[in-house]
Chain A
Amino acid sequence: MTYLKPLPEEDKWSEPFFAGARDGKLVAQRCAETKKFFFPPAPVSPFTRDKNWTWETLSGTGKVASYVVMHQKYFPGFADEVPYPVIEVELDEGVRLLSNIVDLGERELAVGMPVEVVFQKASETFTLPVFKPRD
């Protein structure tokens, strides 16, 4: 089955993020001096403007800070899914991700909903971190 949705733009900065997802880990860069995380992946810490950072594994838990429901068919790969929600997740470490929500069940998507990461394997080479409600 061909994967029709947009593939990540893996460059030398974001590659470890997607490699982490393939291994079932949510990772982000952390500034060594300020201990603050930053995202999307970047060559330097915006806090110190230097390369003194490391990749760290995140807890994968957080809450829905906001969400939208996409009605417009922008991507052919998502055309069959409109309308579909996109959530803005605020992870416990302060990192924000835009992502998808799965396993909502009977629950209604809402700002403040606790969520945790799950890894959706899209192909042999690409795994997408998405989120499910956390009780």
Chain B
Amino acid sequence: MPDWNLRDKACIVGVGSTEYGAFPETDAVGLGVDALRAAVDDAGITFDDIDGVILNRLPYDRFAEVANLQTPFLMPTEAHGRFSAIALNMAVEALASGQAKTIALVYGNDGRSAKMKYGGGAGFWAPWGFTSPGASHAMMFRRHMARFGTTSEDLAHIAVAFRDHATKNPAAVMQKPITVEDHQNSRYVCDPLHLLDYCLINDGGVAWIMTTAERAKDMKQKPVYVSGYARQDDFSQNSYPADDFWYPALQKVASQIYDRAGLRRDDIDGLMIYDNFSPTVLFALEGMGFCKQGEGGAFVRDGTLQLGRGRWPTNTSGGHLSESYMQGWALIVEAVRQLRGGQVPENRQIPNAKALQFLLATPVAASIILRNDA
């Protein structure tokens, strides 16, 4: 018996996203509503159909007021991108238990216009000049380099692949192709990480509409099923750069996710990997068993993650590194559009995509498998 009995019970039936960039004329709530309107339209429903709301990075009461959503079920989640996966599973659970029938999941971010700084604030390590999530990932990556011989140039191949995808995505903030040399020559933000290892802080909104598989059958869009979900937290090093790259937690997720989805790794056609910083992609690939621990650097060379070249087309939208940092939310939208087919430019379509996997390497290790034919 599988230890997660919600396989293919819930579907994503609508997705919406705003443009990504600088929109000082609005704010996170406004962007969230814009994205939700697009998702409602995409799903072919009305706002009156929504009886559940899950929000990320948005003030829940103000959002419900402005979006005029008076429902029996509303859950806010914290700003961390890890809540993209958590929110999705919360919706699956709420749909399965009957707490809601049609759930709007909404993310809004005005970090660029609000001049959001991920660093320089108070913190235990601030007296020593240590600050920012980027520096924490840089510290982890240096450890990876020392232990396994990984190099900054390995990371370049990740950045180059995602940028290549972004050139096929009109919504991507970064459109200019880059080379390994461009990556290596980009300035250090926190050595060993260069500018092109960092995600792009922007304004934007993203929304998903989820409902039960039963209801999804007769709706406007081809349903995308949530086939599998697994999560393991490890906050034991929350105050430090994790010295294990969250490997044990990721391994546990990897040991569960395929059984839960009823699929094998070989059945997966492409990946969406949470890429706040490029090393996270390596940690995710190693932890989830796409290669052995320490071999991630070699694994991503030669276009492994690049559409049309490698076995594992990853972040076909450009991801956080080249589309925009929408904290996992836009990666799920990309997965949905890929799985519907015909909704992204032909040169960006993963051929015959049937199942895609989302990987999240953070203190919340998680994975989601989505497919289009349950």
Complex Cα–Cα for A84 and B130 (A): 10
B119 to A, closest residue via Cβ: A74
Complex Cα–Cα for A74 and B140 (A): 20
Q: Which residues of B contact A81 (CB under 8 A)?
A: 129
> Would you call A96 an interface residue if the criterion is a C-beta within 8 Å of the partner chain's C-beta atoms?
yes
Complex Cα–Cα for A66 and B236 (A): 18
B143 to chain A, nearest CB (A): 4
B363 to chain A, nearest CB (A): 14
A9 CB contact (under 8 Å) in B123, B131, B192, B240: B123
Complex Cα–Cα for A83 and B189 (A): 9
Report whether B241 and A78 are in contact in the complex, using a CB–CB cutoff of 8 Å.
Answer: no
Report whether A72 and B128 are in contact in the complex, using a CB–CB cutoff of 8 Å.
Answer: no
Report whether A40 and B124 are in contact in the complex, using a CB–CB cutoff of 8 Å.
Answer: yes
A111 to B, closest residue via Cβ: B146
Query: Among residues 100 to 129 in chain A, which have CB atoms less than 8 Å away from a CB atom of chain B?
Result: 100, 111-112, 128
B235 to A, closest residue via Cβ: A46
Q: Which residues of B contact A39 (CB under 8 A)?
A: 239
Report whether B146 and A9 are in contact in the complex, using a CB–CB cutoff of 8 Å.
Answer: no
> Would you call A55 an interface residue if the criterion is a C-beta within 8 Å of the partner chain's C-beta atoms?
no
Complex Cα–Cα for A69 and B139 (A): 9
Report whether B122 and A6 are in contact in the complex, using a CB–CB cutoff of 8 Å.
Answer: yes
Report whether A6 and B127 are in contact in the complex, using a CB–CB cutoff of 8 Å.
Answer: yes
Q: How large is the interface on B (under 10, 10 to 19, 20 to 34, 35 or more residues)?
A: 20 to 34
B191 CB contact (under 8 Å) in A40, A68, A88, A96: A68
A130 to B, closest residue via Cβ: B128
Query: Among residues 126 to 140 in chain B, which have CB atoms less than 8 Å away from a CB atom of chain A?
Result: 126-132, 134-135, 138-140
Query: Among residues 53 to 78 in chain A, which have CB atoms less than 8 Å away from a CB atom of chain B?
Result: 65-72, 74-75, 78
Complex Cα–Cα for A111 and B243 (A): 13
A55 to chain B, nearest CB (A): 17
Complex Cα–Cα for A45 and B191 (A): 34
Report whether A69 and B129 are in contact in the complex, using a CB–CB cutoff of 8 Å.
Answer: no
> Would you call A43 an interface residue if the criterion is a C-beta within 8 Å of the partner chain's C-beta atoms?
no
Complex Cα–Cα for A66 and B138 (A): 9
> Would you call B187 an interface residue if the criterion is a C-beta within 8 Å of the partner chain's C-beta atoms?
yes
Q: A74-B119, A74-B120 are in contact. Are A68 and B127 (CB under 8 A)?
A: no
B130 CB contact (under 8 Å) in A40, A71, A96, A98: A98
B97-133 CB contact bits vs A (8 Å, 1 = yes)? 0000000000000000000010110111111111110
> Would you call B252 an interface residue if the criterion is a C-beta within 8 Å of the partner chain's C-beta atoms?
no
Q: Which residues of A contact B135 (CB under 8 A)?
A: 68, 70, 86
Q: Which residues of B contact A7 (CB under 8 A)?
A: 127
Report whether B240 and A128 are in contact in the complex, using a CB–CB cutoff of 8 Å.
Answer: no
Report whether B139 and A67 are in contact in the complex, using a CB–CB cutoff of 8 Å.
Answer: yes
Which of B190, B236, B243 is the most central at the interface, judged by chain A CB atoms within 10 Å of its CB?
B190
B146 CB contact (under 8 Å) in A8, A66, A86: A66
Q: A68-B138, A68-B190 are in contact. Are A46 and B236 (CB under 8 A)?
A: yes
Q: Which residues of B contact A67 (CB under 8 A)?
A: 139, 142
Report whether B191 and A86 are in contact in the complex, using a CB–CB cutoff of 8 Å.
Answer: no
B126 to A, closest residue via Cβ: A6
B190 to A, closest residue via Cβ: A68
Report whether A69 and B128 are in contact in the complex, using a CB–CB cutoff of 8 Å.
Answer: no
Report whether B187 and A71 are in contact in the complex, using a CB–CB cutoff of 8 Å.
Answer: yes
Q: Which residues of A contact B73 (CB under 8 A)?
A: none
Complex Cα–Cα for A100 and B241 (A): 16
A74 to chain B, nearest CB (A): 4
Report whether B128 and A86 are in contact in the complex, using a CB–CB cutoff of 8 Å.
Answer: yes
B120 to A, closest residue via Cβ: A74
Q: Which residues of B contact A128 (CB under 8 A)?
A: 127-128
B189 to chain A, nearest CB (A): 5
Q: Which residues of B contact A69 (CB under 8 A)?
A: 188, 190-191
Q: Which residues of B contact A88 (CB under 8 A)?
A: 139, 143, 240-241
Complex Cα–Cα for A8 and B243 (A): 24
Report whether B128 and A100 are in contact in the complex, using a CB–CB cutoff of 8 Å.
Answer: yes
Q: Which residues of A contact B188 (CB under 8 A)?
A: 69, 71, 83
Q: A-B pairs with the 5 shortest C-beta distances?
A: A74-B120, A69-B191, A111-B146, A6-B126, A66-B143
Enumerate chain B interface residues (CB-CB to A < 8 A).
Answer: 117, 119-120, 122-132, 134-135, 138-140, 142-143, 146, 187-193, 236, 239-241, 243
**Can you add 6 more A-B contacts, CB < 8 Å, to A67-B142, A71-B189, A86-B135?**
A39-B239, A69-B188, A72-B189, A84-B129, A88-B139, A88-B143
